[in-house]
Structure formats: C-alpha cells, structure tokens
Amino acid sequence: MDYSILVMLLKNLVILPFQEIKIELKDEISKKIIKVSSKKYNNRVLIVSPKNESLTPSIEDLPLVGVIAVIKSKIELSNGNLRLTLRGEKRVKILQYKAFNDDIINAYVGDIVIPKFEAQGEEVIKNKLRNILKEYIDLMPNISNSILKIVEDNDDLDFLTDAITTFLPLKPIQKLNYMQEVNSEKRALSLIKDIKLEIKHQELEEKIDNNIEVRLSKEQEEYYLKEKLKEIQNILGDYNETNDDIVEYYQKLQSLDLNKKTYNKLNDSIKKLQNTPSSSPEHAVLKSYIDWTINLPWNILSKENLNVKSVLTKLNKSHFGLNEVKNRIEDYINIKSLNPLISNPIICLVGPPGIGKTTITESIANALNREYYKISVGGLNDATELVGSRRTYLGSMPGKIIQAIKKCNTRNPVILIDEIDKMIRDYKGDPANTLLDILDSNQNKNFIDNYIEEPFDLSQVMFVLTANDVKDIPYALFDRLEIIELSSYNIFEKVDIVKKYILPKIYTEFNMKRKLIIKDETIMYIINNYTKEAGVRNLERIFKKLITKLITSTTHMTITEIDVKNYLKEGEKLENKEITSSGVVNLLAYTNTGGEVTRLECAFYNGDEKVILTGQLGEVLKESVSVALSFIKEKNYVSNTMFYNHTLHLHFLNSFIKKDGPSCGVGIVSAILSRLLDIKVSEDISFTGEISIKGDLIKIGALKEKLIAAYNVGIKKIYIPLDNEKDLKDIPKNVLDNLEIKAIKNYDTIFNDLFNKEKK
Ligand code: ADP
C-alpha cells in the first residue's frame, strides 16, 4: 500500500528499524516537519539519510530507501531546540519525492516485498551470525554482551541484522549501506564479513598493544633508574676524579721521559679530566685515553741477550733444523754486537703450516730475552685495525700494534705478524701499505696510532712475518722483507723431531718419569699412515693421544705397530694406488700444506672435437694443457687425424683444491700420450717440469717438497728438468738414495723411455 509521509533528512546519522535515537533539532523546517507529522501523520516521519553530505541535496540525489520512524517523545527546550526520541519502524521504498515551497519534502512510499529466503539457508546464516558475534564479543574487553540475549531470543533475520548493525561500532557510511540494503540475507552476509574484519583488527591491535606495553615498561624502568641515579648524585655531590687518581697521573707523567709535545698533550688531558664531571660522557673517553697513553712503555726496553752461544743453544733446544732462521739470528747478533744502532731485520718466514714458523719466532724472542706477541692479519681488510681509529668515533681503540706494545710492556718486543699473504685489499684500503709504514725503520720511529695521536717509537721492535706462499705476499711488502723459505720435513726429519722434540715436550707436559720405548720404524709407520702434512702439528697431537691411551690403560711403555693400530683409528692412509689403465699419471704438486702427489686422468672418445678440463684449474695450468697439446700435434707423436671428431677430457683429481702453475706440463703430455697410444704409465713413475712448445723441460720451483712427497708415497722414478739438477744438493740423502731421478733436457727422452712402441 502506497502512502504519503513527510521526509526528514538526517545528515551523518542513520536510523535503523528497531533502533532508538535521540536528537536535538535546531532548524525551523525540521521542527515544523515534526509538528506536522505529529498531528497529521500519526507521529510518523520518513527518515532519509542522503549519501551526499552537501547541505541541500537535490531531490534527484536522495536515496530510494528510507526508514519510517515513530516520534516517541518530543520536548521543547528552553533554548528553543526540540529534543526528540525517534524509533525506527521499518524500511520503505520511496516511490516519489515532492518538494513544497516551504522546503518541506513529501514522499510517496510503499512497503518492501522481498522473496522469502530458503528456510534452511536462513537458519545456517543466522547461526553463523550469532556465533561470529559471540566470538567478537568474547574478544572485546569492554563491550556489553546484552546483545547476545537479544539475538538468542529473536529469530527474525530482518530484526537480527538490524539489531546487530546498531550494536556494532561501524562507520556512518557502513551503517548507511546497511540501512539502504533492503535484502536481509545480503545484510547478514555483509555483517559476517565485517565482524570477521573487526575480529582481525582487534587481534592485531592486541598484538601491537602488547609490544608497546613491553617497550613502555622498559622505558619506564629506565626513567625510574635515571631518576634514582640523579638522586644519588645529588646526595654524593657531583663526583669528580679523586685527587689521588689525578696526582697519580701527574706523577706517572713526570716519570716518563716524553718529548715536549706529547708531555704537554698528556698534561692538558689530565687537567681537562680534572675539570670534567664524571657524569659527563666525555669523562670516560678522556680517562680511557689517558690510561692507554700514559701506560704505554714509552721508555721500557728489555735488556737483550746478545750471547750467540746461549741464543743458539736455546733455539736448537726448542727446534730441529730451521737452520736458515737460526743462521739469520746468529748474523743479527753478531752485527748488533758491533753496531747497537743497526736497525732490526724484517724477517718473513714462508712455508707450509706446522713447520715451526710461529714457535721458532717465540723461541727467538725468548732466547733474545725480548717479549713476544702474535698478531694475526689473515682476513684483515681494514687498515684501521692495525693503526687504530680516531677518538671521535664511538668505541674507538688503539690498533693491534699499540695493543701489542701495551701487552708486552716494552718497546723492543718480537712481534709476529702472522699470515701476511692472507690480508685482503678492498675498498677500505690496502692493509699491506699500512703495514709497510709500520715496518719501515725510516718511518716507524715516529709511528702514529690514530687513537694515541702521539708518535711512538717502534724502531726497536723486531718484526717477524709469516706467509704460506711467496707468490701471495702483497707486492708492496715483498721488496722490504728478508724472505726465508722453509720447506716441509721429510720422514727422517720428522722421526728426529718426534724423538728429540715432541716426545721430550710431552714428557715434561705430562710430568712423566718413564720414557716411551718406540722403534724408528714404528714412528715412520705412524707418520706414513696417520698424518698427511708438511709440518709436525698433527704428529704431535697423535703422540699426545697415544701416550694418554698408553698411560691410562697399561703399565708398560713400549709401543709397537700393533699397539698403534689398537690405540688409533685407521687414519688416512697415504698410498700410491696401482695404476691399472692408460691415460693416468702421478703429478707432483706444491700446495699450502707442502708437496703432494696427485693424479691426472685423461679420457679420449668419439664426440665433438674439443678439450674438456675439470678439477679447478687456474689460468696458467690451462695454458699448460694448450702448450702440451700443440707440442704433441706438432711433434706428430700420434697422427693428428686422431683428434678429428674426438673429445679429450683431462681431470685433475682432488677437485676441491684449486690448482695452478706450469710445473705439470710434462705430466700432462705424458697422460695424453699414454691415453692416445694406450700405453700404461707405472704408478712408480712421476714427472715434474714445465713443457715448452718444442718439448723442452723448463725449470720448476719447490723441487725438494715434491721429491719428499714422492718419496713418502713410495714413487721410485722421477723425471725432472735438467736445469733443476743443481737443486738436488738440497735434497736429503735418504730421499735421494731411494729415488731414481732423471734430469732431462727434452721430452724426447721420456717418449723414448715410456711410449716408443718400436723400442718396447
Ligand atoms: P707454523 O707456525 O709453521 O704453522 P708452528 O710453529 O705452530 O707451525 O708449529 C707447530 C707445532 O710443531 C709446534 O708444536 C712446534 O713445536 C712443532 N714444530 C714445528 N717445527 C718444529 C721443529 N723444527 N722442531 C721441533 N718442533 C717443531
């Protein structure tokens, strides 16, 4: 049924069916509408909420759904306003608006008829709505749950949706949408969605709240503590450095024989400290600076022992061999005795790990009666670590050099700078250049650490550097160093080291009265089967383990091979496995751990005409392969047509180790020829030498290391370049006696020995 009713526009306010609202009307038109409605329209008025919030929306903009409201009460207030209580009754559709001259709008409205929702579906929706509402109310700490009773007691979806919409803290625009949505099912689904969103928000808010709470309580605690501190400071008065400390600083300063500038600087700093309140942040910075600077050994020198005999006795007692180092120290003492002003040598000990570089340096310090300190520079990429950072930086400190000096508390210690070949040059600068300034005797008399800021004399320090590989020593340093290359120990030397150094050391350490009874062959068995190293570090560890087992499990002190097997796990056995096919040869390499025997395998098969190389090869090694191939082809050792439509693959074993260098050239030629001619090369044979494109053998380095490694695994015959023949004088006799060494000029010799079918 259509009827006419007066329209009241409510901006920013929505009324829903069943909802009661209280409003105060100021404007005359609204008041008039209410008056007329009360009289002529049975206390009913049509509430329309325009979406458009402009003050005077045009009729065309008005929505086509409104809510009929009952005027429940109206009171005229003394200020002339009209206070109303309205109660929403029902939604109606607006068929037509009509505006009158006096700005009052009339509307023709009709009831809304919505097809009834399928009963089962409606039930599901209602339950869902009730449940989610309950969940929401449970989550909200400050919300009344009275609505729950209402929704439990009523079953009409129209009512339920409107009641819940009224209850929820929705935005006006959301409420308006609910008001204008005539379909209760649609409203219910939207409500479920909106409540879910509200739940999510609430959970998130709670999470954030929790965090803020924790933070707040921490801040509060800090605040509280600061206040407490202030109180204490007030009671104590502002605490300054006690006079005692200041007096001590001044006394210390007087006792130091400093140059005037440094003296003044420290004097000023102490004065400043006296006047800086201890609560000021500058106080700690200043105090730390004075402590560092005033306590440096500005004038403290150890009295050096320059007695050659006593020094050498000590060095011989601590270390086997290493004669070049010992000789250099002897020279140093002799020269220093003649001219005490001579500058210290900058010795750089180069060689594989575990051969005594560090410990001999410590022994040198000890024998010369100097203090000793070790600085590691492996991986160092920031020069400030050596020379300190400026005091303006937070947490600044002197660099490693000044720290070493302070620890030694003398200005003539032996400082070991370890692993100079592993320093890294990057965007932060080149530590090698900084190191050069530190070592250079022309400059280091006035060494300035960034933190200390005053020149400190390093000229009496004896610097000893170490590196594993000469070629990795930074170029800037190389020229200035006295390089002493140390090689790995052969098995006989190792046996000596065990008997004369390692065992006595362990006896003392373990406080043992009875000595071990062990044959040289057993020591060799241990060396060969349980260690694979250039030095003796693992050997020492193994003997410690053996002796610990022995003294804890038996009373006798004899060790045989059988005992060794019982006490130790089968270690990595150094074997020279049999070569069973062509295309495989033993190569001799020099790595960081000393000499090593490795294998080269060569395959040759139908395929694209190409060469495959595997096993982590450096550029020089790759070039060696090209040279080897060109040599073989030019020399026509095999028919060149063999290479057509064939792939050649060379694999250098131990592929996890990077390999480079030219000395495998001869071995490469031999492996390829062995494969192409299908003639096996015995595992008793090995090769070392660079190959020229004409097949000449070119001199190589580290011959001693390579021959020792070959000998250790039982190789019998080795081809070396003729030019290396003169190096054989440095090879230990036992090694030479057990190896057949063929020093040759050109590859032809090897070809004739190994691959000449006519000869064979
Ligand atoms: P590096 O500095 O070359 O890596 P270390 O000085 O640390 O080697 O020596 C490792 C271990 O081997 C030490 O315990 C050391 O005493 C022992 N050692 C090394 N070389 C010798 C040697 N020539 N004589 C006696 N012991 C040695």
Ligand 1 centroid from CA 511, angstroms: 21
What residues line ligand 1, using a CB cutoff of 6 Å? 319-322, 353-359, 497, 501, 535-537, 540
Q: Which of 37, 49, 318, 663 is catalytic?
A: 663
pLDDT digits (tens, 9 = 90+) for 653-700: 875 566 778 999 999 999 999 999 999 999 999 999 999 999 999 999
663 is catalytic: yes
State the Cα–Cα distance between residues 593 and 74, nearest whole angstrom.
Answer: 103
Q: How far is the CA of 410 from the centre of ligand 1 (A)?
A: 26
- CA distance linking residue 40 with residue 4, whole number of Å: 11
In our burial notation (b when 16+ CB lie closer than 10 A, e otherwise), range 542-554 reads bbeebbeebeeee
Reported as a single tens digit per residue, the pLDDT across 517-545 is: 888 878 887 887 777 778 888 888 888 88
Instruction: Give residue for tokens 């001799």.
Output: 588
Task: For residue 486, give the ligand 1 atom closest to its CA.
Answer: 3
CA–centroid distance, residue 354 to ligand 1 (Å): 5
Residues forming beta bridges with residue 376, ordered by sequence position:
418
Residue from 319, 349, 359 whose mutation best tests the ligand 1 pocket (most atoms within 8 A of CB): 359
- In one-letter notation, the amino acid at residue 638 is V
**Domain 491-567, CATH among 3.30.300.210, 3.10.20.90, 3.90.1720.10, 1.10.8.60:** 1.10.8.60
Helix intervals (H) in 424-560:
431-439, 475-478, 491-497, 503-510, 520-530, 537-553
Alpha-carbon distances, residue 572 vs 187, 528, 548, 569, 708 (angstroms): 79, 9, 21, 9, 18
CA dihedral 711, 714, 715, 721 (to 10 degrees): 0
pLDDT at residue number 217 = 61
Angle at 96 between CA 95 and CA 100, to 5 degrees: 155
Position 272 scores a pLDDT of 84
Helices (DSSP H) in 572-650: which residue ranges?
A: 619-635
Closest ligand 1 atom number to CA of residue 500:
25
| CATH of span 308-485 | 3.40.50.300
CA atoms within 13 A on the CB side of 128: 16
Which residue is closest in CA terms to ligand 1's atom 12?
537
Closest ligand 1 atom to Cα of 322:
23
Give residues with Cβ within 8 angstroms of 400, minimum separation 6: 375, 377, 385, 386
Cα 320 to middle of ligand 1, angstroms: 9
- From 537, 538, 542, 592, the mutation candidate for ligand 1 (largest count of ligand atoms within 8 A of CB) is 537
**Global model pTM greater than 0.95:** no
How far is the first Cα of the chain from the last one, in angstroms, to the nearest whole number? Answer: 124
Distance CA 432, CA 437 (A): 9
CATH of 3-111, one of 1.10.3720.10, 3.40.50.10440, 3.40.50.300, 2.30.130.40: 2.30.130.40
Check whether domain 122-239 has CATH 2.70.98.40, yes or no: no
**Ligand 1 atom at shortest distance from the alpha carbon of 321:** 23
**Domain 584-754 classified CATH 3.30.230.10?**
yes
CA distance 691 to 748: 12
Which single residue is written with the structure tokens 């969103």? 197
- The residue written with tokens 């349980």 in the block is 530
pLDDT the model gives residue 138: 83
**Ligand 1: which residue has its CA nearest to atom 15?**
356
For the chain (760 residues), the mean pLDDT of every run of 10, in chain order, is 86 85 85 90 90 69 90 85 89 88 85 74 87 86 73 86 86 87 90 90 78 61 60 48 72 84 87 79 83 90 89 90 90 85 86 90 93 88 83 78 93 92 73 86 86 90 90 83 85 86 88 81 79 83 83 76 74 65 90 75 92 89 95 92 93 74 94 94 94 95 86 88 93 85 96 79
How much helix, strand and coil, in percent to the nearest 5, is found in the chain?
45, 20, 35
What contacts 24+ positions apart, CB below 8 Å, involve 266-273?
Answer: 266/290, 266/293, 266/294, 269/293, 270/246, 273/241, 273/246, 273/249
Q: How far apart are CA 456 and CA 117, in angstroms?
A: 95
Distance 144 CA to ligand 1 centre (A): 82
Residue 502 alpha carbon to ligand 1 centre in Å: 9
Q: Which of 421, 536, 543, 544 for mutating ligand 1's site (highest number of atoms within 8 Å of CB)?
A: 536
Q: So where are the chain's domains?
A: 3-111, 122-239, 308-485, 491-567, 584-754
